[in-house]
Chains A and B, each alone.
Chain A
Amino acid sequence: MATTFPFLKIIRFLNIYILNGKAKLMQSENNLVNNKIVKQWLMWGFFWGIVAPTMGILLSLKFNYPDFLSNEYFHFGRLRPVHTNGVIFGVFSTIFLGLVNYMVPKLTGVKMYKDEWSKYTMWLWNLSLFAGFAGVLLGYNKGLEVDEFPNPVGLGFIISLVLISYQVFMSIAQRKEEKIYVALWYTIAALIWTDLNLVFGNFVLPYIMPGVSNAALHGLFLHYVVGLWITPGGLAIIYYFLSAASKTPIYSHRLSLVGFWSLAFVYPFVGIHHYLFAPTPYWTQTIAIVTSMLLIVPVWAVVANFYGTLMGGKWGLAQSDFTVKLLIFGAAMYFIGSTQGSLEALRSVQVPTHFTDFVIAHSHSTVFGGYVVFTLAACYYVWPRVAGTGYSRTVAQWSSWMIMLGISTMIAVLILQGLIQGTELVAGAEFVDSVVTMKPYWMIRTFTGITMDIGVALVGLNLYYSKTARTTP
């Protein structure tokens, strides 16, 4: 014992030195941020980032191998909500809520109000996801096209989100920064909208106004989830992290005002465009089409703002900084996908393309190519700062390119598929014949899915298992 004592002492000394050094580094940067909470949210995001896309691969395999996993619990109808909700409420939302815990203290200059609550909200949120997935796999689908989870699972999400909203609003009320940065506008709006929307979708919509009026409500609910949660959340992320990673103020305050208020006013109206030509009142469909086209205004405004930010000689960062690289790509996808979405609402475009994979191309290019990529980009920025570790640039390079090539090819294939099947049906083909035409494209789509899903998984694994010290400034 006596001989080993000095040795242990040295070890302990070194240990303390390293830990203190790390702690100091984090202290100086993030003394407002609760690193542990942010880390945990992001870890869950990485977890769902492996689970939800895998479900997508399984589902896409069923197009070419319909007997694959065709049993009571994992057939297409039961597995699909695990994939869609896994991406929306799993991957995107858990990472976004983690980032909220990072952004809000940074932008308000105060610690998150009651940040010890976050531990509970995080577990509640993720356990609700598990419960919801178990629910739909056991066959208790509520019949909505997102958030199909049986009641009262929705209550878990609502409680969790309302508590987070309260934390955010209280933090903002106590803020030290007088001005509210645009990322916070979007965060405030997203939280209020989604608090309301989840209550509406879980406890009002399924019980009132039967028939086509219920379809109108559902169209609104459905698009509130993508438009009033994912979109403002995703835009908050890119507004904050593009500026932070490129160390550049946002290009134009006026453009961000235009972008925010036009989005806030126009987006709530678009939902009925899912049911054009249905026997709902014609004028509500027309309002939905007009507002969908008007969405070009916020989309192009914010994209112009993002790219404008990089104009002052910052484009080169795309090569060295993975946050900027993915944000540039995500903004392009957002631009393409959202513009496609606006055009898709036109009656003439819907005639061949509605009900086909054309629409699925839009949902993948926006939700995955845009918003999930934004969250992953932000992870490259936040994780090293909250965990104090670095990551392998080689793996990051591979994963970025897999994501970018995968999703780009996928949406190209899906758009092509939609146009082929749509025109085929307009020309009077027998329905099953048009399904046969789709099969080779579905095969390509599976491979593109595998590619981008490996890319997403690598982001999380690369960050989580990294043993190297943080090197990025």
Chain B
Amino acid sequence: MKRAKTIAIVAGFGFFFLALIIQAIVPYVMKQYKTVQYAVTKTVRTPLGLLTQVKTQAVPYTDVLAKGRTIFMHEGCWYCHSQFTRPVAGETRRWGPLPEVGEYAYDLPHLLSTRRIGPDILRVGGKYGDDWHAAHYFDPRMVVPDSVMPRFTWFFKKEGDHFVLNDDGKAIVAYVQNLGMSRGKWRDEFPYQIAAQGSAPAFTAKESVDHGKEVYLRRCVGCHGEKGDGKGTAPSLVQFAVALPRDFTSGQFKFRTTQTGALPTDADLYRTITAGIRGTAMPTWFNLSEDDRWDVIHYVKTFDPDFGAIPPEQPLYIPQAPKPDADLIAKGKLTYEDLKCWECHGQEGRGDGEKSDTLKDDFDNKILPANFTTGVFKGGPRPEDIYRTVMTGLNGTPMPSNFDAVTQQNIDPWALAYYILSFSADKQ
């Protein structure tokens, strides 16, 4: 070849720009990709307390989120955590719904990433609570002993005996918790993390308990502690702002289908482990095999001898939820008045009732009544979950059982359940 210019112009400039135009510029300006660019399918709650999907738009990052995203980028978090799930390899089951173009509308530069040394985090928002993230940033091995993630201790400052997130730490937790949130309440209808009832294996073999212990030591010990007393290393080092880990030796379990004060059934524990306790440090464990989940329950029960001594109770029967209408919601509002829910939870469900400042749980810790408007329901977001909490109360907390009131005063607990859900209705 004799002509250097041919090489320079055709190969050097020509092919470079040809590829750039075909592979990036053309798709960007094509009309069909423009029109879908900002559409996001969002799961919202209607004023009737039901979930539905609407087409909406992603919102720009607020200052805190933008700061968190910058930290995420600067620290190189994205080298190991991708931000797109694929329609293959069971990823929609593992992490959540597929991404849409519109969800990335404000990502500049994008952070899709090409490697997963850690899990994909496109849908991580809401999977863990802020307390879990704090503990995890402080030392990932506290909560995930097999993790290979670095510690991010410079996101913390010391206050008293505990480490709390500083401004950078708060920003990055806010950013991570916001991931996938343009899809709204998708997690409330994510089928894999809902365990409606489930039935435990009737026979508990020693092997099962032993395996449960292995699971416990790899997944639970950081918060609940080796003795199951809720005094793991995580809550002893990092400030848990929302709720402390359960003390399994206390015999107090919040989310049950059994009567107030009674121990939960295995199925209750299974449901809590599967779905997690939203807003708190307790994550969802639906990715664990069913055997792992059942066996760890058998192990957790060994912390409290009462589990073996007291025969299990007949659980509450939760019937099929009715379809709500405006009348049912109105009826629920009256029930909310009658049962004096507003004394703690407030007239508008914000958890700011007149008694709300004075409440303490059985461990003498200050406790806040649930704020229904956030849409974060610890016991679960389904009407059946609210029904259960209304009927059986939350052990160890001031939340009473309304079982007697319901049966004696002919109250419809479904009306109350849907009314409570309707507090978290999204503005259209």
List residues of chain A with CB under 8 Å of any chain B CB: 62-64, 66-67, 70, 72, 75-78, 80-81, 136, 139-145, 148, 169, 172-173, 178-180, 184-185, 188-189, 191-193, 196-197, 200, 205-207, 209-218, 220, 224, 228, 257, 260-261, 264-265, 267-269, 271-272, 274-281, 284, 287-288, 347, 351-352, 354-356, 359-360, 422, 425-426, 428, 430-432, 435-436
Contact of A210 among B23, B27, B104, B146 (CB under 8 A): B104
Q: Provided the pairs A77-B79, A213-B27, A215-B110 are in contact, do residues A268 and B2 lie with their beta carbons within 8 angstroms?
A: no
What is the distance, in angstroms, from B100's C-beta to the closest C-beta of chain A? 6
A209 touches B12 (CB 8 A): no
Residues of chain A lying within 8 A (CB to CB) of residue B3: 180
A215 touches B146 (CB 8 A): no
- Listed residue (A207, A267, A277) with the most chain B CB atoms within 10 angstroms of its CB: A277
Interface with A: B82-90, B169-177, B274-282, B373-381, which one?
A: B82-90
A140 touches B4 (CB 8 A): no
What is the distance, in angstroms, from A11's C-beta to the closest C-beta of chain B? 50
Please give 15 more A-B residue pairs, beta carbons under 8 A apart, in addition to A141-B73, A432-B146. Answer: A62-B150, A80-B79, A178-B2, A185-B11, A192-B12, A193-B16, A211-B37, A216-B23, A220-B24, A272-B23, A274-B114, A355-B82, A360-B115, A428-B90, A435-B117
Contact of A278 among B28, B89, B99, B146 (CB under 8 A): B99
Contact of B116 among A200, A355, A426 (CB under 8 A): A355
Q: Provided the pairs A62-B150, A192-B8 are in contact, do residues A279 and B77 lie with their beta carbons within 8 angstroms?
A: no
What is the distance, in angstroms, from A244's C-beta to the closest C-beta of chain B? 19
B150 touches A70 (CB 8 A): yes
A214 touches B107 (CB 8 A): yes
Q: List 30 A-B contacts (CB under 8 A).
A: A62-B148, A66-B148, A70-B151, A77-B76, A80-B76, A80-B79, A139-B74, A143-B78, A185-B1, A189-B8, A196-B13, A206-B109, A209-B108, A211-B101, A211-B110, A213-B27, A213-B28, A217-B24, A218-B112, A228-B16, A260-B11, A264-B11, A268-B18, A278-B84, A284-B23, A351-B89, A425-B94, A426-B90, A435-B117, A435-B146
A188 touches B150 (CB 8 A): no
Contact of A277 among B18, B88, B110, B111 (CB under 8 A): B88
A206 touches B20 (CB 8 A): no
Q: Provided the pairs A212-B101, A268-B15, A277-B88 are in contact, do residues A78 and B110 lie with their beta carbons within 8 angstroms?
A: no
- Listed residue (A136, A206, A212) with the most chain B CB atoms within 10 angstroms of its CB: A212
- Listed residue (B18, B115, B147, B154) with the most chain A CB atoms within 10 angstroms of its CB: B115
Complex CA distance for A18 and B368, rounded to whole angstroms? 89
Complex CA distance for A209 and B100, rounded to whole angstroms? 16
A77 touches B15 (CB 8 A): no
Complex CA distance for A288 and B10, rounded to whole angstroms? 20
What is the distance, in angstroms, from B113's C-beta to the closest C-beta of chain A? 8
